[in-house]
A and B are shown apart, each in its own frame.
Chain A
């Protein structure tokens, strides 16, 4: 199993540009989580899906952020327009329940820099 695959690994863009981050979860996992990590705020949960349906998006910072999961093998996190304060590492994690517990497997992350 290749694990959770995220792309791009690094993205440098200018303020105002659209950014799309991609995630391929582990086959068979029915949960997908998007997190953002910064030095100041740590690892924040943005949104998570169950069976491709968004369950809780209360962590999405504002309307500039949107996430989709069109099928079980693909999810995107889009920022439009991007701002310098969006600079962070964005992690995708997938999971399946083991005895009721969500055992998360993380991707390597996408490091976003907005100039």
Chain B
């Protein structure tokens, strides 16, 4: 059974700082790894998707990396802004013992960027 964890559970940083969010998954035979953002009281918005054959993806100030062999992914946010304050969740699709289309989420990291 695929399990996804995220560290830290919460993070508070001053505006302008670069930061890294971590995601780990137990079944490394995933098809892809996705990062989502969730604002309070809202649904989830997809940020980045990394296919299993890829090492990283970039979108603006966001860069996500994937190391399947170690079961880890990181989301790097450069020059953080107050508008980046939200909960960030990673999600793994598939696995050796998981249905191919199944998408399992981690618990999220709550980020607060202080002006």
Contact = CB atoms under 8 A, between A and B. Distances in A.
Interface string A83-115: 000000001010000011111111111000000
Contacts of A35: 105
A106 B93 contact: no
Given A45-B102, A101-B32, A91 B43 contact: yes
Contacts of A106: 43-45
B104 to A, nearest CB: 6
18 contacts: A42-B106, A42-B107, A42-B108, A43-B89, A43-B107, A45-B102, A55-B99, A56-B99, A91-B44, A93-B44, A100-B31, A101-B49, A102-B103, A103-B49, A104-B44, A106-B43, A106-B44, A108-B42
Nearest to A111: B41
Interface size class of A (residues with CB under 8 A): 20 to 34
A33 B43 contact: no
B101 A55 contact: yes
Interface in B54-96: 89, 91, 93
Interface of B: 31-32, 34, 36, 42-46, 49, 51, 89, 91, 93, 99, 101-108
- Binding site of B, secondary structure by majority: helix, strand, loop or mixed? strand
Contacts of B34: 101, 103-104
Nearest to B1: A58
9 nearest A-B pairs in the assembled complex, by CB-CB distance = A106-B43, A42-B107, A43-B105, A106-B44, A101-B32, A108-B43, A56-B99, A102-B101, A109-B43
